[in-house]
Amino acid sequence: MKNLKKYVFNTLRNLTSWLESFSATTILKLFRKATFFVSSYTIFSFVIITASCSGQNTNQSQDTAEEVITPVLYKNLKAEYVIAPNSFSSSANFNKYWRNFYPWGPDHNGTARMNEDNIKLEDGVLKLSANRITADEGFSLAKPHLKIAYHSGAISAIPTITISDSIPQIEVSGYFKAPSEKGTWPAFWLTATKGWPPEIDILEFKGSDLNWQNTFSYPKNILSKKIKMLRPAQGWHQYKVILKKLDVINISIEYFLDNRLTAIHKGVNYLNKPMWLIINLQMEGISGSPGPMQSEYFAKEIIVKKWRKTSI
């Protein structure tokens, strides 16, 4: 700091001596040229700053800027399953790891109300189906309180997911066939058990063939990677994240699609924050309306694996 002050002082002193060598008329001309330069620079700077700030907003045509992150590589870790890949193989296995509906109940932010009849297990595959209803069931109990127009399916994991000092790495993955037509809103995501955020969207289609990989951090910091998919409902695709401790408060989130790394985000203040894992087929809302009369969403081989420290 002292060196900086000395540098500024010497620069100003030299500038003063230099100006003293010019006449008043010459100095006035220099001042006018400098004023034009500063004004032009100010306008240019404003344009650049405005463009940079607009990049922080959620934008459907551009990905948000990502901070360059080098995740920590841990050693002496022991891997263990939190959710085994056969959790959909039987009702007994399902009940060991999963519950029906969202953790908070049957309603959320679309026009579908979750119903047990819309949740099925078939040959190791989870099938969530949505169908339009004619009965008047009122409005969703969750914001923005849309009128209920569908019955659909959602499940949430019983164990929560937390990155901590003792568990510095967790993998969450699964194979999905996800609908993408207007009015369908399938998701595979993590969200905070208390408050909000954190939120990590591993799979999210909102009425189009774009898969959104989103990281929400406090306050109002949103990172998004959007990937155009070719018929995501027709074939199985693997969606995955690997969460790693970065420092005393933050984590890194590595996003993968079909085992290809697509993005690395920072989860700000995510350390020691428990999260729920949810698979759901919501309808309409921000995915558009009217939605189809019915839709289906399939999942299999869901894995949650954690790595525990065995030594420092």
Which residues are identified as catalytic? 199, 204
Is residue 307 within 8 A of residue 75, CB to CB? The reply is no
Please state the three-class secondary structure of 25-71 as a single string.
HHHHHHHHHHHHHHHHHHHHHHHHHHHHHHCCCCCCCCCCCCCCCCC
Residue 222 — φ and ψ, nearest 5°?
-120, 125
Is residue 246 within 8 A of residue 252, CB to CB? The reply is yes
Which structure tokens are listed for 78? 């022991």
Which structure tokens are listed for 37? 């330069």
Q: How far is CA 32 from CA 38, 45, 189, in A?
A: 10, 20, 59
Is residue 224 within 8 A of residue 212, CB to CB? The reply is yes
Is residue 216 within 8 A of residue 199, CB to CB? The reply is yes
**Beta-sheet strand order (sheet of 199-204):** 98-100, 154-157, 275-283, 184-192, 199-204, 210-217, 221-228
CA dihedral 284, 288, 291, 295 (to 10 degrees): -70
Beta strands in the chain (DSSP E): 77-83, 98-100, 112-114, 119-122, 125-132, 150-152, 154-157, 169-177, 184-192, 199-204, 210-217, 221-228, 237-245, 251-257, 260-267, 275-283, 294-309
Beta bridge partners of residue 241, listed in sequence order: 172, 255
What is the SS3 assignment for 20? helix
